[in-house]
Chain A
Amino acid sequence: MQPARTMKRYRSRTMINRFMLILTIGSTGVALIPLVLILSYVFQQGIGAWGVEFFTETYRPVTLGEGTVQVGGVLHAIVGTMIIVGVALLIAVPLGIMAGIYLAEYPGNRSSTIIRFCTDVLTAMPSIVVGVTAYILIVQRTQQFSALAGSIALVVLMVPIITRTTEEMLRLVPDASREAAVALGAPKWWTTLTVVIPMAFSGIVTGILLALARAAGETAPLLVTVLGNNNLAYSIFEPMQALPLLAYRYTEQPFTEMNDQAWGAALLLVVIVLITNISVRLATRKRLSR
């Protein structure tokens, strides 16, 4: 038998351990409550709006006093989000990846330190600030609300995310792999392109998907740049509709049918972000097991 003092301390240590465990589990539960509440509430409110018409029609004015209420759909917003985010992606991916390569492969010098700092500041930038900047620089100059202005605002939000994840992923590539190529007389660009990037590829894709999920859900920068549009628009030089924008605008409407559509659009956004996040998880898991 152990001395009484040891047993006493042992008991109190076990108690503390149990208490801490309960505390952490409890905190996790509390943190999960809002997530579950939001998801279930959005689903409950939004699923009613979903129907064939919701995905295939565009805005239709609510007619008052008639027997049946026709509400149309949000196809224009779905297409708009795809175009706005797609254009943003086309610009942000090469910029972000190349900046990330620079930061990872030339880490020591002064300019990369400055770029890294700016990138971090930009990551924490409120999105409305980015939107207003795009408004002043693009919308005011061109005298035109446009999808392109919105895309560029989103680019500013996406590039830092892609840059930093690319940098982190490239840094995980062991130097031994770089040296293997360099010792064979490979120039730096060749080493980076054919050795370093392929090894970090799925990590870079993860960063792109995260940036995509963030951009798809942004409302503030779009409010002041793409404005919104009740019709299906394909030109990036014209105002366009987007899902988060539509959800925001429709909640302000007095018609319950439109409020319901806002819920439907919100649900669709949540689903898009969720799918993106799940694919990130899958891509990451594949990378770890390889």
Chain B
Amino acid sequence: MSSTAVQPPAPRVAFRTNWWSRAAWIALAIYVVYAMSRLEITWDRFVLGLGNGAKFLDRMFPPHIIQPDSLLKGLTESLEIAFLASALGILISLPIGLFAARNLMPVWATWPARAIIALCRTFHPVIVAIVFVKAVGFGAMAGILALVVASIGFIGKLFAEAIEEISLKQVEAVRASGAPFMSVIAFGVMPQVFGRFVGFATYQLDSNLRNSTMVGIVGAGGIGGTLFSAFQRFDYDFVCAILLCIIGMIMAGEILAQWVRKVFLERGKVDEE
């Protein structure tokens, strides 16, 4: 008793030092410096690049549509690629996402479904497009297939996650009425995830629009091919015109996506009133 009274109380620590996190920050800083030195990233090169960029920008203006036919064909093809890929991808990812949901499906169903989704997500659409160009030849078909794969990976994963977060109590009630499995899905599961699913689908349409302008670079159809050849011919004013058209198309797609969301999701709000 008396000895503890004599000793001064040990100082109390309000904030404990986290040595692990400190070490991680230091390691990160060291790696950044190392990587920059390896890749010869220097300020001089950046300044030099700015001058080239200015020259490039100067040649881009005023934009000039050199080949209107090629531009129009590319744009409509991109649009077609995006819509077909979205429609097909969404359709295929619905059952795959459902099979991948671990709260509703047995392991023998979730495991292969998850494997498919993981595979679809592994590679960037451009790499997939290269593979499909090799398989089915140059053109829109390869682009569509590549973006279908991307759509399955994205929507399938998010859809499965959305299903895994639903309230099983609502499902249980539908099940207790003796409903067959498909009716349990239609009445117990879909109403709970439909709103989010529309969100994923419109986002994917948006993303497919952007990606459809790019798969053309590797020969998989769409405006990307036109853009790439204009670059190679140093027709920078045509490049600029193409880029402006792409911006217009993406913005139109954004508006369309918003409209779709409104049509499908506002309906519920109206019902409440």
A and B from one complex: no
